[in-house]
Amino acid sequence: MGGYKRRLRHDAFEYLEYLRDRGSNGMLRIPWGGWCVTDVTKAHSVLRDAEFNSGRSSFFSGMLPTRDAQIEVGRAVRNLLRSQLPKYRAALVVEVSRLPATSQWPAAGIDLMYRSMRDILLHPESPEHLRRLMDRGVHGGIMFQAPSTWQRIRAEFLRAKFNPAFTEEVGRRRKNPADEPRDILDTLVATCSESLPDETVSALFGTIYRSSVAPSSSTLAWSVLLAFMHHTSDSPLPWPADWIVREAMRHRPMVWMVGRALPHATEINGVSFNAGDFVSASPYLMHHAEQGWTNHDVFRPERWGEPERGPYIPFGAGPFTCSSAAVAMELMTDALTALTDGARVSVTGGDTRPVMIEGAVPRPFTLHRSVRQLHAAGKK
């Protein structure tokens, strides 16, 4: 399997299909470590299996002591995001109006999602140096892994400032708690046990900061790219925004592999595993399976108005399904709607091969956007 890194860089999805076709018994050994269950039925079973899903979710990287604590934090963050949707939508209108006629994506999409969520992550009356640190982290190697060695070194210097600064803010807020959560950080302070160190709550905030913006902005970029590569006329998009987002997550899922270390020895499709072995399922492969998906290799938003569909796990499956999945869908759908309603949009330089940066991210492309003029009688 030598040279797999080069093939991943060229087209990770194509390479994954190549590996699947060379596997046997619905299983394949992954060159970068572990196994992937490629049989659709078995993959669904594994993702929902109580034994596979025992213990804590790896999303929180062991920062919370119990699964119940993880669930409590996940629900609290989801509820805060849901309550702040009107604020997010109002911010979207402002941020979309600031977009230039020509913008470079996915960077512009990251900025759009982040700026629309900025006050929800950290409310406007928070210390300004913390908000500046958040701003710097978006393109400074905290939100996404920096690609070059020099950029990674700079990112480490930024983290060395980010984590202590937010740890200090956690301590301050714990001494003077808000009556009601004003932002994500307040929510974590209110939900996490007092026995959890300030540094851990700060690290949790960093995780939520990244996971709130990075996946949603990448999916928004895929939605824009794929929609306007397939709809090139000057007329409005022929599909509802939520169909486009759902199809983008099917066709080019940002999270393309989900897995974890097995908590116990077990057997899957005749292959024996020890405790600690890493086993995955691939949303990309499941979303492109022939079982249930018509023209599975084609971007077809209209399929979401049809009754027959195949396996779909953009937010995971089973006990570890993302607790904020429904809210995330609203965030992305609202952003796409704000971008496209009443506007002429087109893209140039598009490429459907992903770049693997903390997930499958679109390669750079250019978005052209102009506001449509109203010609109806009596309107100017």
Q: Measuring CA to CA, which residue among 285, 281, 297 is closest to residue 352?
A: 297
- Residue holding tokens 């700079």? 154
Instruction: Return the pLDDT at 378.
Output: 44
Q: What are phi and psi of 151, to 5 degrees?
A: -65, -35
Residues in the chain, overall count: 380
CB 111 within 8 A of CB 94: no
Q: How many other CB atoms are there within 10 angstroms of residue 237's CB atom?
A: 19
Q: What are phi and psi of 122, to 5 degrees?
A: -145, 115
Q: Give, as one character, the DSSP assignment of residue 165.
A: H
Instruction: Return the pLDDT at 247.
Output: 98
CB 118 within 8 A of CB 142: no
Pairing type for strands 278-281 and 35-37 reads parallel
From its phi and psi, is residue 317 left (phi > 0), alpha (psi between -120 and 50) or beta? beta
Instruction: Return the pLDDT at 376.
Output: 45
Q: Measuring CA to CA, which residue among 151, 318, 340, 165 is closest to residue 245?
A: 340
How far is Cα 315 from Cα 320, in angstroms, rounded to an integer? 9
- Residue 171, C-beta contacts closer than 8 angstroms, at least 6 positions apart: 198
Instruction: Return the pLDDT at 147.
Output: 66
Question: Amino acid letter at 151?
Answer: Q
How far is Cα 271 from Cα 16, in angstroms, rounded to an integer? 20
From its phi and psi, is residue 233 left (phi > 0), alpha (psi between -120 and 50) or beta? beta
How far is Cα 178 from Cα 324, in angstroms, rounded to an integer? 23
How far is Cα 361 from Cα 146, in angstroms, rounded to an integer? 13
How far is Cα 267 from Cα 379, in angstroms, rounded to an integer? 68
CB 149 within 8 A of CB 141: no
- Residue 132, C-beta contacts closer than 8 angstroms, at least 6 positions apart: none
Instruction: Return the pLDDT at 379.
Output: 44
Averaged over successive runs of 10 residues, the pLDDT of the chain (380 residues) comes to 78 93 88 90 83 77 90 96 97 97 97 98 97 93 74 85 96 96 98 96 95 95 98 93 98 92 82 88 93 92 91 86 92 98 94 90 96 57
**Three-state SS at 29:** strand
Instruction: Return the pLDDT at 263.
Output: 80
- Residue 362, C-beta contacts closer than 8 angstroms, at least 6 positions apart: 105, 106, 218, 221, 222, 225, 252, 350, 351, 354, 355
Instruction: Return the pLDDT at 146.
Output: 65
Number of H helices, E strands in the chain: 12, 11
Rounded to whole angstroms, what are the CA distances from 308 to 284, 291, 302? 18, 10, 12
How far is Cα 163 from Cα 142, in angstroms, rounded to an integer? 11
Instruction: Return the pLDDT at 7.
Output: 87
Per DSSP, the residues of 341-372 read TTEEEEEES---SEEESSSEEEPPEEEEEEEP
List the Cα angle 181/187/189 in 5-degree steps: 110
